[in-house]
Amino acid sequence: MDFTATHGLRWRDPGVERVPAPADLARWFIEAGLTAMPVPVSASTHRSALDLREALYRLMRGRVSQEPLDRRAIDVVNGWAAKAPPAVQLTADGSAKRLVAPTAGKLLTFVARDGVDLLGGPHADRLGECSRDTCTLLYLDTSRAGSRRWCSMEACGSRHKMARYRRRDAV
């Protein structure tokens, strides 16, 4: 789901691409905590990654709006999820986990498998889309009441609140 957020403002055409180049995807892998060490990303893996991202987005968005799921998107996600993820091992002192020779392609299997776990798991009904008109980010509502409305309180929730205060001032 975090990966789908690298394409923002989808209502605009085009939206905002936050990983426009292979190097940006390499950075995202680290920011997302998928790997601690940088991995090289080829142009073709970058293209495939964006294809996977859009497939995940279509499926998650489809769940939110309860539309029939896109078969091609399912095939794309399943194709990645079926590939082997990087091997893992303990560090020499046994205190931490390390990926063995991670590659960009192998890291994408993590993303796809997470997507399968989410969409095919018990929390899929907790997917939502931010209520702010101009935001298209998805969230997973982990609140007990299931009352979440914003992608993040800091970004969209507080802006909504501020707008409400301003309106109140104007009255």
Element (H, E) at 16: strand 16-17
Three-state DSSP at 128 gives strand
| 132 binds Zn ion, rule: CB under 5 A | yes
The CA distance from 37 to 29, in Å, is 9
| 10 binds Zn ion, rule: CB under 5 A | no
Q: How many residues in total does the chain contain?
A: 171
Which of 136, 132, 138 is CA-nearest to residue 158? 132
Strands 97-100 and 87-90, sheet pairing: antiparallel
Residues contacting Zn ion: total by CB under 5 A: 6
Q: Identify which range of 6-14, 38-46, 62-70, 131-139 contacts Zn ion by CB under 5 A.
A: 131-139
As measured in angstroms, the least distance from the Cβ of 127 to Zn ion is 14
Q: Which of 39, 81, 127, 130 binds Zn ion (CB under 5 A)?
A: 130
In this complex, which beta carbon is closest to Zn ion, that of residue 104 or of residue 151?
151
| 151 binds Zn ion, rule: CB under 5 A | yes
Interacting residue ranges for Zn ion, rule: CB under 5 A: 130, 132, 135, 137, 151, 156
